[in-house]
Amino acid sequence: MNTYKLLTPGPLTTTETVKEAMLTDHCTWDNDYKMITQNIRKRLIDLANAAEENYTAVLLQGSGTYGVESVLTSSVGDGVVLLITNGAYGKRMVQICDYAKISYLEYNVGFAELPDADYVEQLLRSHEEITHIAMVHCETTSGILNDIESIARVAKAHNKTFIVDAMSSFGGIEIPVEALGIDFIISSANKCIQGVPGFTFIIAKRDALAQTKGNCRSLSLDLYAQFEEMEKDGKWRFTSPTHTVLAFAKALDELEAEGGVKARQKRYTENNRTLIANMRALGFKTYVAEENQSPIITSFLYPENQNFNFGEMYEYIKERGYAIYPGKVTDMDTFRIGNIGEIYAEDIEKITEIFRSFLEVKNIRGDEK
């Protein structure tokens, strides 16, 4: 099989040792296994910079979207949620609310724009019916890093429940969850913790979670029911993704060995900034303004050249050992390069060389008209 490293936003490239952790079959109600789950929950609260008496972690089967859907359908109830959107994952929250018939108000800004906290405050004043605010931290669509701090401040000043989709940032960017007063923050196994796909996790403020009891109209996505069962002794309500859980426990060990979130954030940031500098030197332009660019994933504009073809470039790069990602913003032609996962400075140098040789072979520069 042709293997390549993933320069994508997850699933991402994991270590051999994380993959090897999956070579054991585990019984789901066995005590050792339940302890692994409990240990993961504890460590996630630590990573969130929160205290166990105020916060808890719930693991839920499925991909990240299941976690977001679980939180929205379990917590909003008869309230109204303000959805702050600037990309596909914000839009997915809109879709979730449409499906579940949850009342919402949408504050949508452009893909390359940051939401404005003052405007959010105005909305809260003019729409007293709003009970919850939900937004995405790193919008993986463009690679923009939203300012959750300013919105958290407004949310807390107005006593609103604050929900953050931190799928592509949690574990890769320090988030002071308790200090910000975030009520629910969601991520998944296959992003910055560097595990494999199979479950999502929700770090919830205990009192906000307690209020979700009996709200959810989906059995499998009922956050409180999942919490209640897991809180007893670490047993998952329905069949748990045992192999994924073992890999995740290993991935947490490796995150700690790397020096924790701070060290990982440093590696991601350095690699991201080097990648952008190298790509600019080749003539490529970035989609998101530098000050708003996340250290997770970057959108680059297509060169305006007749000879450029994304599919061709993708294959060229894949043959040389890396997979990049198509663009997702709809107002411009872009492609994306993720730099989360087991990606190091030498990978950034290699990928730069591959881009350089591709442009040379095709006789184009990134920015050529």
Which residues form the interface with ligand PLP (CB under 6 A)? 9-10, 63-65, 89, 136, 140, 165, 167-168, 188
Q: Mark 131-159 as b/e (b = at least 16 C-beta within 10 Å).
A: bbbbbbbbbbbbbbbbbbebbbbbbeeee
In whole angstroms, the minimum distance from the beta carbon of 121 to ligand PLP comes to 24
Short-list 284, 296, 272, 280, CA closest to 146: 296
Q: With 0-12 CB in 10 A as exposed, 13-18 as middle and 19+ as buried, what is 4?
A: middle
**DSSP codes, 222-289:** -HHHHHHHHHHHS--SS---HHHHHHHHHHHHHHHHHTHHHHHHHHHHHHHHHHHHHHHHTT--BSS-
Q: Which is nearer to ligand PLP, 293 or 364 (CB)?
A: 293
φ, ψ of residue 202 in degrees (nearest 5): -125, 125
Residue 63 or 278: the one with the smaller Cβ distance to ligand PLP is 63
**Which of residues 135 and 282 has its CB atom nearest to ligand PLP in the complex?**
135
Residue 332 CB, shortest distance to ligand PLP, in Å, is: 19
**Shortest spacing between CB 309 and ligand PLP, in angstroms:** 27
Q: How far from 181 is each of 92, 93, 160, 279, 315, CA to CA, in Å?
A: 24, 21, 10, 38, 45
- Which one, 174 or 228, has the nearer CB to ligand PLP? 174
Q: Which is nearer to ligand PLP, 294 or 303 (CB)?
A: 294
Question: Which amino acid appears at position 350 of this protein?
Answer: K
CB burial string 103-114: b at 16+ within 10 A, e below: ebeebebebbeb
User: Which residues on adjacent β-strands are paired with residue 256?
Assistant: none
CB of 80 vs ligand PLP, minimal distance in Å: 22
Q: How far is the CB of 158 from ligand PLP (least distance, A)?
A: 25
Nearer to ligand PLP, 337 or 364 (CB): 337
Owner of token pair 């309230």: 79
Helices marked H in the chain: 16-20, 31-47, 64-75, 88-100, 117-126, 148-157, 177-180, 206-210, 223-233, 242-258, 260-281, 310-319, 345-362
Q: How far is the CB of 9 from ligand PLP (least distance, A)?
A: 5
Q: How far is the CB of 63 from ligand PLP (least distance, A)?
A: 3
Output 20 or 149, the one with its CB closest to ligand PLP.
Answer: 149
DSSP state of 63: -
Q: How many CA atoms lie within 13 A of 103 on its CB side?
A: 9
Closest to ligand PLP by CB, 69 or 359 = 69
Closest CA to 313 of 335, 333, 329: 335
Closest approach of Cβ 356 to ligand PLP, in Å?
29
255 backbone dihedrals φ, ψ, rounded to 5°: -65, -40
Using the minimum distance from each CB to ligand PLP, give the nearer residue, 93 or 120: 93
The DSSP output letter for 149 is H
Closest residue to bound ligand PLP by CB:
64
Taking the complex as a whole, the smallest distance from the CB of residue 339 to ligand PLP amounts, in Å, to 14
Task: Compare residues 11 and 234 and give the one whose CB is closer to ligand PLP.
Answer: 11
Smallest separation (angstroms) from ligand PLP to the CB of 136: 5
